[in-house]
Amino acid sequence: MNRGMMLKLENLVQLRCAFRQLHSLSYRKIHRTQWKPVQSSTYTMRPVQLHPQPWQTNAFFGVALSQYRLLATKEGKRPGKRKLPPIKLKIERQEVNIQPRMTVEDLARAMDKDIDHVYEALLLTGVALDSLEPDSVLEEVWIKEVVKKSGMKYKWAKLKQEKVRENKDAVKRPPADPALLTPRPPVVTILGHVDHGKTTLLDSLRKTQVAAMEAGGITQHIGAFLVHLPSGEKITFLDTPGHAAFSAMRARGTQVTDIVILVVAAEDGVMKQTIESIQHAKNAKVPIILAINKCDKPEADPERVKKELLAHDVVCEEYGGDVQAVHISALKGENLMALAEATVALAEVLELKADSTGLVEGTIIESRTDQGRGPITTAIIQRGTLRKGYILVAGKSWAKVRLMFDENGKTVDEATPSMPVEIVGWKEVPSAGAEILEVESEQRAREVVDWRNYAEQQEKIKQDMEVIEAKQKEHKDAYKKERESLSNLTWRQRKAALYKTNKHLIVMRSKERVESDKNVLPVIVKGDVDGSTEAILNILDSYNADSECELDVIHFGVGDVSENDINLAETFKGVIYGFSVNANKSIQQLAAKKGIKIKLHNIIYHLIEDLKDELSSKLPPSVVEHIIGEASVLTTFCVTVGKSKVPVAGCRVQKGQLDRKLKFKLIRNRDVIWKGFLTSLKHHKDDAQVIKTGMDCGLSLDKNIEFNIGDEIICYEEKEVERTISWDPGF
Ligand SMILES: Nc1nc2c(ncn2[C@@H]2O[C@H](COP(=O)(O)OP(=O)(O)OP(=O)(O)O)[C@@H](O)[C@H]2O)c(=O)[nH]1
């Protein structure tokens, strides 16, 4: 490399170091405490990060950094002539996924840096920079060198992939062999406009069964019921709040309904929800039977209904279509058998069949919790034959079938396809529309539920991270913009700007440092999986408000809050944050006894919000001055008190009032030259407590200061205002 180029690169390094310093000071976490070596069984403790630039040589920043390091170290002292022991900084290093044969560009991308950064890191190495292009492939040794020099640590990318968990979900069996299929009853949903008679129709249909049963039999609402026709045929009616259940099942891709009975009141005709119901049926590709209801009413006009429906592609048989129309009176129970027969006829055309052998499949129609029997669901069996003792999974719950009931509350021993059945034995309440799958064993059921919880959690983390990353990108962009605004400055101007930005940190007095050291929030982070813990730690890495309150991650790991966590929190006076983990009762009691806060959350940004509140609560309140009155000095004189002469100001109150018991300040040429209390406040010759606007007074201060005409006297109150931590994690 020639000397010119060397100089150019060195300049570049200086510039970049300066800016990185600026960036690191405002965006990165800098711990100032020594870390305590706490061992975790699963994880080692994360060391503190200083975002170091080890190849940085610039003298100014060498000094600034050494000062800064002092600030970053709890026990740090100013360097004297005495040789001090080296300050050990524990560095929180960003992890970079590396792979063989990475190009300069690849590496820069993996480190989230620009290409210049890679060039700088290779500046004083044996790499020939002259011939290094962005697409040049780097040797493994140099890849590692760049990462190390950047204060980061590397990780081979493929190791990470091995951590992905194997999918343990349960899925439906492939379609059955046609030879195994046998006829099954149709499953019918009744839809229609509000008040057109859906409930009345269902009640009347159910009553036909009560009549058919022994006297005293009462049907109960379980979300579905079976109607037995005199011909021996059966129909299952779904009796869940129509549209909602239908949509929920459709949304989950479960198709339970074979036929929709569209109820239209003969005197009202087609209404808004009639059209929506038609749309539901069409979307689900479920055929319709038209039940023209309220035909007992004199104003009933069934023909008008059929004509109106033509406009919505519901063409009745009389009009050359294939939709059967039955004129009924749900209230009077008229023509219900004709409706049932039409349903059976359509079911025959549809050739509804199912395989009643092998592992059971079904759909949850409704679920509830019974005080005595725990979670109960009504399900429609769609494949196989359900019997007591079978193991089922649905959503994130599983069941060992303890009992089964029909809609008459009678226990049943088995449920075949299309049969509605109440199932008792669930560990938790699965939601309506969830798919039921039988599995071989309880162990397998647990495995499936575990996998589903994990998959859901991953999805949630992914969504959380997307939000967080988008916000962090916004921040980065804002930073870049800010940096660009400096690009027209000369190097010296930039350095000056940089110095100005960081001056308050460099010159912070040791007394203040000691004071700020007191403000520390030690935290323990527990997550349910590696990914969530890592995600939270990544966010904590962006913590940049150490000057207000230090954030000290003393321990982190995966799993529920343990006794060890409580002990650590007690030792360090820390707070435990858990994401999607639990703290059992004995742990909670132990924590309460020791006064340890355990904060459990299921959403990352709620956890971070909570942490921000906790940090803010550590900040001493800021004192705000609230002005009560303002006066101007019109004349000055002295009075003799004992042996000394006391300066007195003759003032006029211009605004508000002067209150003797409050605080005052004296302002001269915009500078505050005194703050304190008055020793006397007089109106003419009388002592006064308060002097109001427009009034004149004489006053003296608790310090002998000569007044000047034109000075301002301000009376004020100090109010404490709660502070909020300035850290903005970007979401
Ligand atoms: N005359 C007559 N009235 C009926 C008939 N069917 C229902 N009704 C009356 O119409 C009103 C509404 O009936 P519902 O069965 O509650 O109607 P719905 O469609 O279930 O109404 P929502 O549950 O609100 O959607 C009630 O007063 C019923 O008594 C019928 O066939 N003839």
User: 231 is written with which tokens?
Assistant: 């011909």
Same structural domain, 251 and 323? yes
Q: Whose CA is nearest to atom 13 of ligand 1?
A: 197
Stretch among 68-77, 206-215, 667-676 having the lowest mean pLDDT: 68-77
Cα–Cα distance measured from residue 191 to residue 266, given in angstroms and rounded to the nearest whole number: 15
All residues at 6 or more sequence positions from 231 whose CB lies less than 8 Å from its CB, including other chains: 344
Look at residues 140, 156, 172 and tell me which one is the last residue of a structural domain: 156
480 & 402 share domain: yes
Concatenate the DSSP letters of all residues of 462-478 into one string.
HHHHHHHHHHHHHHHHH
Beta carbons within 8 Å of 299's beta carbon, 6+ residues apart: 267
Counting from 1 in the atom list of ligand 1, the atom nearest the Cα of 273 is 25
Distance 125 CA to ligand 1 centre (A): 87
- Mean pLDDT of the residues in the chain: 79
Asked whether residue 176 is assigned to any structural domain, the reply reads no
Rounded to the nearest 5 degrees, what angle is found at the Cα of 611, between the Cα atoms of 610 and 617?
Answer: 90
Q: How far is the CA of 199 from the centre of ligand 1 (A)?
A: 7
Pair type for strands 671-676 and 663-668: antiparallel
Taking the centre of ligand 1 as the mean of its atom positions, its distance from the CA of residue 14, in whole angstroms, is: 83
pLDDT-derived band at 651 (thresholds 50, 70, 90) equals very high
- Pick the residue whose CA is nearest to atom 7 on ligand 1: 197
689 and 661 Cβ atoms separated by less than 8 Å = yes
- Asked if residues 380 and 319 have their Cβ atoms less than 8 Å apart, the reply is no
Give the binding-site residues of ligand 1, using a 6 Å CB cut-off. 192, 194-200, 293-294, 296-297, 329-331
Are residues 104 and 139 in contact, defined by beta-carbon separation less than 8 angstroms?
no
CA nearest to 604, candidates 468, 730, 474, 471 = 468
CA 612 to CA 544: how far, in whole Å? 12
Query: Position 699: which residue type?
Result: L
**Residues 219 and 328 reside in one and the same domain:** yes
What is the DSSP code (8-state) at residue 321?
S
Identify whether 163 is part of a domain: no
pLDDT of residue 123: 77
Q: Which two tokens stand for residue 265?
A: 């009141």
CA trace torsion 615, 621, 626, 632 (10° rounding) = -120
| CA 198 to ligand 1 center in whole angstroms | 7
Judge whether 169 lies within some domain: no
Q: For residues 731 and 5, what is the distance between their CA atoms, to the nearest angstrom?
A: 43
Q: Which residue has the higher pLDDT, 11 or 301?
A: 301
Mutating to test ligand 1, I would choose from 191, 199, 221 the residue with most ligand atoms within 8 A of its C-beta, which is 199
Q: What are the contacts of 497-502 at 24+ separation with CB within 8 A?
A: 498/18, 498/19, 498/21, 498/22, 499/60, 499/64, 501/22, 501/25, 501/26, 502/21, 502/22, 502/25, 502/64, 502/68
Are residues 613 and 629 located together in one domain of the fold? no
329 CA: nearest ligand 1 atom:
31
User: How far, in Å, CA of 621 to CA of 718, rounded?
Assistant: 11
The whole-number pLDDT of residue 468 equals 66
Q: How far is the CA of 514 from the centre of ligand 1 (A)?
A: 78
- For residue 329, give the DSSP letter: B
pLDDT digits (tens, 9 = 90+) for 277-317: 898 889 888 999 999 999 999 999 999 999 999 999 999 99
Residue 103, pLDDT score:
85
Q: Within 125-232, where are the H helices?
A: 140-149, 157-162, 198-212
Residue nearest to atom 25 of ligand 1 (CA): 194
Nearest CA to ligand 1 atom 29: 331
What burial class does residue 101 get, using C-beta atoms within 10 Å of its C-beta: 0-12 exposed, 13-18 middle, 19+ buried? exposed
User: What stretch of H or E contains 338?
Assistant: helix 336-350
Mutate to test the pocket of ligand 1, among 200, 204, 206, 263 (most ligand atoms within 8 A of CB): 200
Query: Tell me, what amino acid is at 645?
Result: K
Do residue 317 and residue 439 come from a single domain? no
Q: How far is the CA of 219 from the centre of ligand 1 (A)?
A: 20
372 vs 402: CA distance, rounded Å: 13
pLDDT tier, 358 (very low <50, low <70, confident <90, very high otherwise): very high
Q: Give the residue, 535 or 500, on which the prediction is more confident.
A: 535
> In sequence order, what E strands does 19-129 have?
95-98
> Cβ neighbours of residue 6 under 8 Å, at least 6 residues apart?
none
396, 425: one domain? yes
Which ligand 1 atom sits closest to the C-alpha of 330?
31
Lowest mean pLDDT of 231-245, 357-371, 498-512, name the range.
498-512
- In angstroms, the CA 492 to CA 482 distance is 18
Task: For residue range 539-570, list pLDDT tens digits in order.
Answer: 887 788 888 898 888 788 888 999 989 988 88
The CA 331 to ligand 1 mean position distance, Å, reads: 7
Q: What is the pLDDT of residue 382?
A: 95
Measure the CA–CA gap between 667 and 632, rounded to whole angstroms: 10
Residue 125's pLDDT band (boundaries 50, 70, 90)? Answer: confident
Pairing relationship of beta strands 288-293 and 663-668 according to DSSP bridges: unpaired
Q: Is residue 317 part of a domain?
A: yes
Does one domain contain both 131 and 230?
A: no
Within a domain: residue 365?
Answer: no
| Ligand 1 centroid to residue 419 C-alpha, Å | 27
Q: What would the pLDDT profile of 335-354 be if each residue is shown by its tens digit?
A: 999 999 999 999 999 999 99
Is the same domain home to 449 and 406?
Answer: yes
Domain of 129, in residue numbers: 101-156
- Residue 185 confidence (pLDDT): 96
End-to-end CA distance of the chain: 46
Based on the fold, state whether residues 228 and 306 are members of the same structural domain. yes
83 pLDDT more than 60: no
Number of structural domains the chain divides into: 6
Where are the alpha helices (H) located in 485-551, listed in sequence order?
491-506, 510-517, 530-541
Q: Are residues 342 and 236 in the same domain?
A: yes
Residue 157 burial class via C-beta count within 10 angstroms: exposed 0-12, middle 13-18, buried 19 and up:
middle
With cut-offs at 50, 70 and 90, classify the pLDDT of residue 431: confident
Residue 431 sits in a domain whose CATH number is 2.40.30.10
Q: Which two tokens stand for residue 406?
A: 């029909």
Nearest CA to ligand 1 atom 8: 197
Query: Can you tell me which atom of ligand 1 is nearest the CA of 332?
Result: 31
Segment 605-610 shows an average pLDDT of 90
Ligand 1 atom closest to 263 (CA): 19
- Residue 200 CA: nearest ligand 1 atom is 15
Instruction: Give pLDDT, residue 172.
Output: 93
Q: Are 386 and 411 in contact (CB under 8 A)?
A: no
Residue 334 Cα to ligand 1 midpoint, Å, equals: 14
Q: Determine, yes or no, domain membership for 674.
A: yes
Model confidence band, residue 533 (pLDDT cutoffs 50, 70, 90): confident
Ligand 1 binding pocket mutation candidate from 327, 331, 332, 334 (most atoms within 8 A of CB): 331
- Ligand 1 centre distance from Cα of residue 265 (Å): 9
The interface pTM score, or ipTM, of the predicted complex is: 0.98
**Ligand 1 geometric centre to CA of 318 (Å):** 26
Give the C-alpha separation, 589 to 595, whole Å: 10
Atom number, ligand 1, closest to the C-alpha of residue 203: 15
Of the two residues 705 and 544, the one the predictor is more confident about is: 705
Q: Under a CB-based contact definition with an 8 Å cutoff, are residues 429 and 369 in contact?
A: yes
Q: Closest by alpha carbon to 465, among 729, 189, 99?
A: 729
Residue 409 has pLDDT above 70, yes or no: yes
DSSP state of 137: B
Helix axes 3-27, 59-71, angle to 10 degrees: 20
pLDDT of residue 432: 80
Lowest-pLDDT range of 374-383, 404-413, 507-516: 507-516
Last residue of a domain, one of 485, 507, 539: 485
pLDDT at 40: 34
- 270 domain-assigned: yes
Cα distances from 603 to residues 5, 455, 466, 541, in angstroms, run 52, 15, 13, 18
Q: pLDDT tens, 445-495?
A: 999 999 998 888 788 777 777 776 676 667 667 656 665 665 666 544 554
> Within this chain, do residues 458 and 575 fall inside the same structural domain, yes or no?
no
- DSSP element (H, E) containing 293: strand 288-293
190 with 248, same domain: the answer is: yes
Phi and psi at 272, nearest 5°, equal -55, -50
**Is residue 6 a contact partner of residue 525, using CB atoms and an 8 Å limit?**
no
Question: Looking at the domain assignment, is residue 525 inside a domain?
Answer: yes
Q: pLDDT digit string (tens) for 164-198?
A: 678 899 999 999 999 999 999 999 988 889 889 99
Among 319, 353, 387, where does a domain finish? 353
Q: Which protein residue's CA is at the shortest distance from atom 14 of ligand 1?
A: 197
CA of 194 from ligand 1 middle (Å) equals 8
- CATH no. for residue 569? 3.40.50.10050
Backbone angles phi, psi at 471, to 5 degrees: -70, -40
**pTM reported for the whole predicted model:** 0.51
Q: Are 309 and 285 in contact (CB under 8 A)?
A: no
Residue 466 in tokens: 């997307």
User: For 670, left (φ over 0), alpha (ψ -120 to 50), or beta?
Assistant: left
Q: How many helices (H) and strands (E) does the chain have?
A: 18, 31
N residues, the chain = 731
DSSP secondary structure letter of residue 620 = P
Least Cα distance to 410 among 400, 397, 419, 399 occurs for: 419
Q: How far is the CA of 192 from the centre of ligand 1 (A)?
A: 11
Question: Mutation test of ligand 1: which of 189, 195, 237 has the most ligand atoms closer than 8 Å to its C-beta?
Answer: 195
- Could you tell me the CATH number of the domain that includes residue 278? 3.40.50.300
By CB atoms closer than 10 A (0-12, 13-18, 19+), residue 129 is middle
> What's the sign of the alpha-carbon dihedral 625, 628, 633, 638?
negative
pLDDT in tens, 130-175: 778 888 888 877 888 888 888 788 777 653 444 567 889 999 999 9
Residue 729: which residues within 8 A CB-CB, separation 6 or more? 468, 471, 539, 542, 543, 608, 612
* CA 216–ligand 1 middle distance (angstroms): 26
SS3 138: coil
Indicate which residue's Cα is closest to atom 9 of ligand 1.
197
| Closest residue by CA, ligand 1 atom 12 | 195
